[in-house]
Amino acid sequence: MLASGGGSNLQALIDHFNATDSTVARVALVVSDRADAGALERAARAGIAATVVAVRGREADDVARELLALFDTHRIGLVVLAGYLKLIPAAVVRRYAGRIVNVHPALLPAFGGPGMYGMRVHRAVIEAGATESGPTVHLVDEEYDRGAVLARWPVPVLPGDSPESLAARVLQAEHALLPVVVEALALGLAPQRPITITGQPGTTDWPGVADVRRALGLTHREQEQQRS
């Protein structure tokens, strides 16, 4: 996983694969461009290899070589960006085409692209008068937030929402959505079309992991796989 921030999505993946089936996937390496990223501390606490790869002021190809060498050393099969604020070098996108995902805290293609990250996203959503927002998990290509959408989870924008309150509601859905999409990818079950998850945080119909897995076809297809 690549993370520049606090790493709550990293934590969600660590917890998910510890709780479900770590033979499907596990977080094997955490990379940050910032030595002070909370994600690095979470990795250390979980006993996961973690390293800083500086990006600022470096050639993209130089960063790519360092990242790919790390991924080879750690036998990385899937790359997950969660709060990673740098563009992924083209050489890495090419090598991991179809196996590198990002979670964006808005319903792409809306409110995405360069400079749209963190509270700026939620402020723009509220200022636009949108009535819903939510996380999007998408494949990464050479542009910010433009790759194929795998899954999205609309949550309501409530009257009186601040960017912070909206961010918290979106983050809750991110933590439920990202690990299950990664699990699907690890099982070779990438959604062939964007999957929209229904159910609202904090209500009785807040879908649990089982509902998200079903929506992504995991339970159904896994049973099929077991039958075949």
Residue list 158-197, contact with ligand GRF (CB under 6 A): 171, 174
Q: How many residues bind ligand GRF (CB under 6 A)?
A: 14
Determine the 3-state secondary structure of 50 from DSSP.
strand
Tell me if 134 contacts ligand GRF by CB under 6 A: no
Q: Give the residue from 183, 102, 185 showing the smallest Cα distance to 149.
A: 102
Spatial distance between the Cα atoms of 57 and 60, rounded to a whole number of angstroms: 9
Residue among 156 and 217 whose Cβ is closer to ligand GRF: 156
Residue among 188 and 202 whose Cβ is closer to ligand GRF: 202
Q: What is the 3-state secondary structure (H, E, C) of 97-151?
A: CCCEEEEECCCCCCCCCCCCCCHHHHHHHHHCCCCEECCEEEECCCCCCCCCEEE
Which residue of 1, 2, 7, 139 would you call a contact of ligand GRF, by CB under 6 A?
7
What would the two tokens of residue 184 be?
């699907």
Tell me if 103 contacts ligand GRF by CB under 6 A: yes
Residue among 132 and 224 whose Cβ is closer to ligand GRF: 132
Site string for ligand GRF, 196-225 (x = CB under 6 A): ------------------------------
Question: What's the N-to-C CA distance of the chain in angstroms?
Answer: 33
Which residue numbers are catalytic?
104
Residue ranges in contact with ligand GRF by CB under 6 A: 3, 5-9, 82-83, 103-105, 135, 171, 174
